[in-house]
Structure 1
Amino acid sequence: MNTQPPARSAPGASLPGRRSLLLGIASGALLVAGCTPTPPDSLAAQARAGDNKNYIAGDGSVSEYAPNDRGAPVEMEGPLYDGTIVNSTAWRGSVTVLNVWYAACAPCRTEAPTLEALYQEHKSEGVLFYGINLRDTAATAAAFERTFGTTYPSFNDANGAILLALADYVPPRAVPTTLVLDKQGRVTARVLGIAEKSTLKALIGSVLKES
């Protein structure tokens, strides 16, 4: 008769079933963590969409920059549709609003009356408004202005030189984008997408109060 005691597992050895279970739990945890969705980047998602609408409609998000956080004054120059060459140094001493647009951009058509209303409201305070048109001929731009009643001037930026100068603030194809500049020519605020009237009015009023 065999009287030897049954063999024992070495200390620290794990049973196959338990080890498989632990590995399965760990793998599952990693899988869940890896599949957790991250918040979508609206602008990036639209850029990847490939829907050929040729613009990225921002969500109206606003970025404001305190005086100590503002960058260097904007340096740009370009032709208006009437042929006048305008340099940004001419704006020093004035609050300036820049709006990037073109006629086929649906959000641009939506916000045009708002921009014109604010221009009329603030021009007596010395606030300057300029459009920056990225692609339209003079005839197309003029038709847009007649349709929507905009009377402030626009740059013809078909060559992209002005947009390049504003690249730190205006993402590619992010149309419309509106910038507010202080009296030193520095960007104080940016609106990506349609600028709501109350929001843009507050941004203009805020920088007017600085002086």
Structure 2
Amino acid sequence: MAESRATRRTVLKTGLAAVAALAVAGCSTDGGIPSSGGGGGDFDFTAATPAGELIPAESRQTAPAFAGELLDGSDFASSSLAGQIVVVNFWGSWCAPCRVESPEFQAVSTDVADAGVSFLGVAVRDQRQLAQAFTDDFAITYPSLFDPSGEIALTFRGFPANVVPTTILIDRDNRVAGVYVSAVAEEDLRAILQELLAEDPSGTPTTSPPDD
């Protein structure tokens, strides 16, 4: 009996530790989504970008083209965002960290909408009705692709799409400037977007002209 109780305590502690880790790192999708696939572009995921940092301009790879159906049923193609900075956020209505992150993303998207920054959600491993209710509940105004099978994620080769939330930043030259495989804090998102906005289209930081 004592051994059985000790075993149950060990299992309980292990389970609580797993839940805690999941809450910090994000949610895994049921069954997972294969983390490699085709798609155009040169991007091939090798490692997550540290929080609050960007991939150096000289190391950025071309983002793949992708297309799909938005939650409202209309068609979408990534080519419609050409020349803009794009924040692609993979989320699910079943994901607890997404419930914290999404309202913060909405606030940031409103503040930078006129600066040439577009936000795009991707609802993965979800039901359309639940995903739509999620965006309604949190008053999310930027569009979200409905991607229950993870096809959009597969266009980003090697991208660990079984972890949600995950955010990909794309610069004005359609290059992947950051891949964050956990929730992104609002202050970090604002800081890295300001860095991208300060770059010229070639990825070089702009500088003020010298005083006479």
Q: Deviations over 1:20-39 (max 9, x none)?
A: xxxxxxxxxxxxxxxxxxxx
Q: Distance in 2 between the 1:123 and 1:53 partners?
A: 30
Q: Does 1:139 align with 2:121?
A: no
Taking structure 1 as reference, are residues 55 and 175 closer, same or farther at Cα in structure 2, changes over 3 Å only? farther
Q: 2:141 is matched with which residue? A: 151
Contact 1:60–1:194 under 8 Å retained in 2:
no
Structure 1 residues 192 and 99, CA gap change in structure 2 (3 angstroms): same
The one-letter code of the counterpart of 2:64 is V
Which residue is equivalent to 1:113?
103
- 5+ residue gaps, structure 2, are 1-17, 33-47, 201-212
Q: Which residue number corresponds to residue 184 of structure 2?
A: 195
2:166 paired residue among 155, 162, 177: 177
Q: 1:167 maps to what in 2?
A: 157
1:201 maps to amino acid: R
* CA distances 1:143-174 after superposition (whole Å, capped 9, x unpaired): 11122221111001113210101233x31311
- Whose radius of gyration is greater, 1 or 2? 1
Change (3 A) 1:110 1:167: farther
> Residues of 2 paired with 1:73 and 1:66: CA distance?
15
- Cα distance between partner residues in 1 of 2:68 and 2:136: 22
Q: 2:176 is aligned with what amino acid? A: V
Which runs of 5 or more residues in structure 1 are unaligned? 1-41
> Matched residues, percent identical?
30
How many positions carry a matched residue from both structures? Answer: 161
Aligned twin of 2:61: 71
Give the Cα separation in 2 of the matches to 1:139 and 1:60: 32
Q: 1:160 to 1:206 in 2, by over 3 A?
A: same
Secondary structure in 2 matching 1:146: helix
1:60 is displaced (CA, Å) by 9.3
| Structure 1 position 120, deviation (Å) | 0.5
Q: Tell me the distance in 2 between the aligned counterparts of 1:130 and 1:53.
A: 19
**CA contact 2:29–2:164 (8 Å) conserved in 1:** no
How large is the RMSD of aligned CA atoms in angstroms? 2.6
2:76 corresponds to: 86
